[in-house]
Amino acid sequence: MGCMLSQVAAKFAFFPPSPPTYKIQKRERDGKLSAVAASATTNTTSLPAVPPDNKSLDVLVIDTKRGNKIVAFYLRNPYARLTLLYSHGNAADLGQLYDLFLQLSLSLRVNLIGYDYSGYGASTGKPSEKNTYADIEAVYECLETEYGVSQEDLILYGQSVGSGPTLHLAAKLPRLRGVVLHSAILSGLRVLCHVKFKFCFDIYKNINKIKKVKCPVLVIHGTDDDIVNWLHGNALWKMARDPYEPLWIKGGGHCNLELYPDYIRHLCRFILEMENMTTEIRLKKIRQNMRLQKKRSCAMCASMCCSIKLCRPKCPECSRPKCLKCPPCWKPKCVKCCWRPKCPKCAGSSCCFRNVNWRCCGSGLNGEQDG
């Protein structure tokens, strides 16, 4: 039942452009892959702004562990120190996003790799939650093996549904440089209705995974988003272990945040700070977060202490429940209380269990008493 409901939820989550806006073909002179715009006629033209001899763009076909072949665009920037792995929204493919990739790579001074999920663009297979997880893992492995990119030099970027695979991978990489969540979702079901419970058939449970991300998290969301409410981004930012200053774009919708000047300005500042974050600074922030979490857990334990009661039988002389952890309630002596641990006279346990009756050895209590 849960699997069937998950498939139904996936149908509401994925809307790949049909037909795809591009296709992949091999160049005759060197055999390398290139992307061309798909048109209704047999004639094809190069994608906009892609020079025929553009050496900064690599078109890749990557195998995933689930047997699909996905297409990725890798854009080099000669001045880049970091790499951005971009997971797009649910109704776009690489052909529509190429111009944006160019702008981000140049403005942010980063290498950028974007990919199409299984069933999107020229990628094979069908779109599903598990397939997107396998897709982003395959792209990360390609970055490691083909381009020598380590997680310390990687920033994950997830837009809308892309926040699902982004947080899935981020939760597995403890030394990741940073994460950007653009119009992100708490979960697939919470986009459709406001629920506070967890369901087994829900998809992209970012509400659980955000707590496992150890690197800085930048959240960008439009206040007038009518598809994914701003409350999703706000909740994710509050639950992040290392939240970066968020960007709430006043009047911004779901698909137009790139048009606002604050968008690229705030991203540039975030990237610059991530570039300047040395190992020493990262370790210092990790220690601070650990100390903060320890204080929070201690405060939580203190507040819960008096709510934890002993489950041992009560003494007929004093029927008050005792607290398990409060020092005043747990003294090593027995004064008319059969569940104190030690007795000052016999140095043994305060009560003996004999013949289904409790016998207390404290002063003033002689003989057997019914338990």
**Kindly report the CA angle at 163 between 2 and 228, in degrees rounded to 5?**
80
From the candidates 128, 225, 232, 266, give the one annotated as an active-site residue: 225
Q: In this structure, are residues 365 and 318 in contact, taking their beta carbons and an 8 Å threshold?
A: no
Task: Report the distance separating Cα 220 and Cα 180, nearest Å.
Answer: 8
Task: Report the distance separating Cα 209 and Cα 170, nearest Å.
Answer: 9
- 183 tagged catalytic: no
Task: Report the distance separating Cα 255 and Cα 160, nearest Å.
Answer: 9
Residues in the chain: 371
Task: Report the distance separating Cα 243 and Cα 256, nearest Å.
Answer: 23
Please give the sequence-ordered ranges of beta strands (E in DSSP) within 38-143, or none if there are none.
Answer: 45-46, 57-63, 69-75, 82-87, 110-115
- 225 tagged catalytic: yes
Q: In this structure, are residues 3 and 120 in contact, taking their beta carbons and an 8 Å threshold?
A: no
Q: Exposure pattern of 230-249 as b/e (b: 16+ CB <10 Å)?
A: bebbbbbbebbbbebebbeb
From the candidates 87, 160, 163, 350, give the one annotated as an active-site residue: 160
- Nearest C-alpha neighbor of 177 from the set 230, 120, 110: 110
Q: Which residues are catalytic?
A: 160, 225, 254
